[in-house]
Amino acid sequence: MAQPRRGPHRILGTLSAVLTSLLIAAPVLLTTPASAAAARVSAVTAASTVKVGSVVVVTGQLSTHAVGKTVVLQRNNGKTWVTAARAKTVTGGRYTVSVRAPRAAATWLLRASMTGSTHAVSTVLHLRVVKTAFAVEAEALSPVTAGEAVVVTGRVTPKAMGSVGLQALNGSVWTTVATAKLSKASTFTLRSVRPTGRPVLRVTKAYTKAVAAGTSARLSVTVAAPPPSITTSALPTATAGLPYTTRMSVAGGVAPYTWSLAFGGLPPGLALSGDGQISGVPGAAGSPTLTVTVTDAVGRQASRPMILSVVLSPVAGNTLSSWGHNSRGELGIGSTVNTAIAVPVPGLTGVTAVAGGGNNGYARRFDGTVWAWGYNGFGEVGNGTTTDTALPVKVKGLAGVTAVAGGTYAGYALRSDGTVWAWGYNRHGELGNGATVDSSVPVQVSGLTSVVAIGAGQNAAYAVRSDGSAWAWGSNDLGQLGDGTTTTRGTPVRLTGLPAVVAVAAGGETAYALGANGTVWAWGYNNLGELGNGTTVDSLSPVQVSGVTGATAIAASLESGYALAGDGTEWSWGDNGNGQLGDGTTTDRHLPVKVLGLSGVTAIAAGGSEAGYALRFDGTVSAWGYNGQGQLGDATTTNHYSPAPVDGLTGVVAIGGGNASGFGLAVLSG
């Protein structure tokens, strides 16, 4: 029903409030009660503002796509809904129905429904019937960068004065976000700030002297990401000779991104990948300046100058010295002559850790590589041959190594990824790869991940995982694997009956574990009290070493065990025939005794041929026990039953001892 005509003074007060609710577009579907068979009706008009007396065309569709159904177009007369027109559905359930607008300006409500259904009713169409229908043409700049204004331009015809409003659709409600006055040519420029998401806009025009209005078509605006910006402000310092990895970061832009160097060059050994990662091993110190550029998926770029500093490692100058037995070149000094004093190992610098094998030496360099020397009859040097070498050679195929260990005829390395690698003798499964074939190059120990510590003894090896569990593999004839059996294992088996473990060590056929709680545990051969539990009975499973608490490190020689206490003292037990327990006697001990005269000890080691070593806080080394080949390093071959200084060694940062033949190793600070 047509509304009473109102004068201009009434229109001014109501037009602004009415436009927002009246100019809502029509294509919204009515939700019907839950029923799989319930039909739904859609309805839409070409415009929400129409001229008085004009023909209004309503189109829509039945959700059931039924053909030949009757759709009724109804108008509201102010009290009830009355039928204004009918139409039959055609292919796809579509329909078209026309009705003439009232002859007076009004707010007109229409809806469509399907006969025979009380639920199939469209949403209500709100139409503004006006004397003059303005045509509003509008165009929006798109895409718009996030955070920037949306600019909409256009014109109104016929010419009009006054203003236009920019509205944004928020759910089902249109909200005015900007207004602008019309120019003399009836053109306009509207600007809204900081749009979010993907806004839908429209422009509305209301005339204040007569009943007239108009609305533009909807404008969809794409909001683009802001230009890329490199957020990496500085590059971490690299160390010459050490693996280096860092990744650039970017904000804004459109992924994917491509990185490149716009100016300067990276230090030799490093490279920038397209995904923004700088990686490699820098070869020399320096601080080159470079400019990196990132390009986003739509071609926008950002650049930033940076400095990548490469410094020398503080351990790059570390050297290695050795002394003692040398018949197979195990001292690495280029000869096979024993020496009773420490002599430098030539050609090897940057050493951070050492270990002795049966007749071999192993060193880890700061760059994560491993070097070996000495006897090589089973490939224990790991260089792909079985030829002895009296000088260090690089073990093949190893990088990122964090720890080394030496067995009687095999070498072991722990990599930073938590895997363990082994090479050399394998007749008892010492390499842990499930085979019994020797290997002159490293092979991966099967099934071990997240390893944090390793150790090796006579034809057996051991590992500790990050969860505190201990694992063992290899020969087991005397229970040295600690798994409760005497069955040889070609792959690692987990030990039971231990607390959380942080370190392992082995000498001959006895092995030791250091608990995180400071206790020490032992298993295997016990003929001379090697288990430290007061007996001489072998054990196939771990037993606790008596009386040792607060231990921080362990070591083992052929038939003796050693523990470093938290107060800097050292304790020992087992075979003492050559004074290797350092208690001033040659009496075997089935329970731990204190090594005489030692304090401030920071690291311990042991030689396979019955010698003990201690590194003190002042960088000096003491040794005791058997000295037949000069393994005590005091320029004599006389045994010592208590510790005596190794001649000429200062600034020592790490020590090691030979597993079978007697020799000592010391890393000297550079």
**For position 197, what pLDDT does the model report?**
63
* Residues 380-418: tens digit of each pLDDT: 999 999 999 999 999 999 988 999 999 999 999 999 999
Q: Give the pLDDT score at 395.
A: 98
- For residues 572-593, average pLDDT: 97
Q: Is the pLDDT of residue 134 over 60?
A: yes
Rounded distance, CA 365 to CA 352, Å?
A: 6
Residue 258, C-beta contacts closer than 8 angstroms, at least 6 positions apart: 274, 294, 295
The whole-number pLDDT of residue 528 equals 97
User: Is 588:528 a contact under the CB 8 Å cutoff?
Assistant: yes
Cα gap 655→613, rounded to integer Å: 8
Is 60 exceeded by the pLDDT of residue 3?
no
Please report the pLDDT score of residue 33 as a whole number.
37
Distance in angstroms (rounded) separating the CA atoms of residues 619 and 208: 96
Q: What is the mean pLDDT of residues 471-492?
A: 97
Distance CA 235, CA 47 (A): 59
* pLDDT tens digits, 111-126: 999 887 777 888 888 8
Rounded mean pLDDT of 278-286? 87
The better pLDDT of the pair 451, 222 is held by: 451
**Rounded mean pLDDT of the chain?**
89
Q: Which residue has the higher pLDDT, 477 or 52?
A: 477
Model confidence at 15: pLDDT above 50 = no
Please, which pLDDT band fits residue 13 given cuts at 50, 70 and 90? very low
> Residue 340 and residue 198: Cα distance in Å, rounded?
82
pLDDT at 2 over 80: no
Cβ count within 10 A of residue 6? 13
pTM of the model: 0.64
Q: Which residue has the tokens 């003929």?
A: 527
Tell me the mean pLDDT in the region 647-659.
Answer: 93
pLDDT at 568: 95
How far is residue 261's CA from residue 303's CA, in Å, rounded to a whole number? 9
Six-digit token pair at 50? Answer: 């129409």
Question: Does 136 score more than 70 pLDDT?
Answer: yes
The residue whose two tokens read 């204040």 is 208
Kindly calculate the radius of gyration of the chain based on its CA atoms and give it in whole angstroms.
44
pLDDT at 599: 94
Q: How far is CA 298 from CA 235, 272, 277, 619, in A?
A: 27, 21, 21, 61
Convert 266-298 to b/e letters by CB count within 10 Å (16 or more is b). bbebbebeeebebebbbeebeeeebebbbbbee
Return d(Cα 267, Cα 287) in angstroms, integer: 8
Task: Give the pLDDT band (50/70/90) at residue 196.
Answer: low
Instruction: Please determine, for residue 642, whether its predicted confidence score (pLDDT) is greater than 50.
Output: yes
DSSP-assigned letters across all residues of 173-203 = EEEEEEEEE--TTSEEEEEE----SS-EEEE
Q: Quote the longest CA-to-CA distance of the chain.
A: 127
Strands, E assignment, 475-574: 489-494, 501-506, 510-515, 520-524, 539-544, 551-556, 560-565, 570-574
**What pLDDT sits at residue 311?**
87
CA 661 to chain centre: 44
Q: Please name the amino acid found at residue 669.
A: S
pLDDT level of residue 482 (50, 70, 90 thresholds): very high
What b/e readout covers 506-544, taking b as 16+ CB neighbours within 10 angstroms? bbbbbbbbbbeebbbbbbbbbebbbbbbeeeebbbbbbb
Contact 649, 615 (CB under 8 A): no
| pLDDT, tens digit, 9 for 90 and up, residues 293-348 | 999 988 989 999 999 999 888 888 899 999 999 999 999 999 999 999 999 999 99
Q: Which residues contact 100 (CB under 8 A, 6 or more apart)?
A: 53, 54, 55, 56
At residue 526, does pLDDT exceed 90?
Answer: yes
Q: What is the pLDDT of residues 624-640, one digit of tens each?
A: 999 999 999 999 999 99
Which has the minimum average pLDDT: 55-59, 250-254, 257-261?
250-254
| 494 SS3 class | strand
- pLDDT-derived band at 207, boundaries 50, 70, 90: low
Pairing of strands 319-324, 339-349: antiparallel
- pLDDT tops 60 at residue 247: yes
% of the chain with per-residue pLDDT over 70: 93
pLDDT band at 362 (very low <50, low <70, confident <90, very high): very high
| 670 Cβ contact partners less than 8 Å away, ≥ 6 residues apart | 314, 315, 316, 317, 318, 319, 349, 350
pLDDT of residue 194: 63
Position 146 pLDDT exceeds 80: no
Q: Could you give phi then psi for residue 157, rounded to 5 degrees?
A: -130, 145
Q: What does the angle CA 626 – CA 631 – CA 637 come to, to the nearest 5 degrees?
A: 65
How sure is the predictor about 208, in pLDDT bands with cuts at 50, 70 and 90? low
Q: What are phi and psi of 195, to 5 degrees?
A: -70, 155
What's the pLDDT score for residue 227?
87
Query: How far apart (Å, rounded) are the C-alpha atoms in residues 563 and 549?
Result: 10
In the predicted structure, residue 487 carries a pLDDT above the cut 80:
yes
Q: How confident is the model at residue 428 (pLDDT cuts 50, 70, 90)?
A: very high
* Mean pLDDT across 258-270: 91
Rounded to 5°, angle at Cα 575 from 574 and 581 = 80
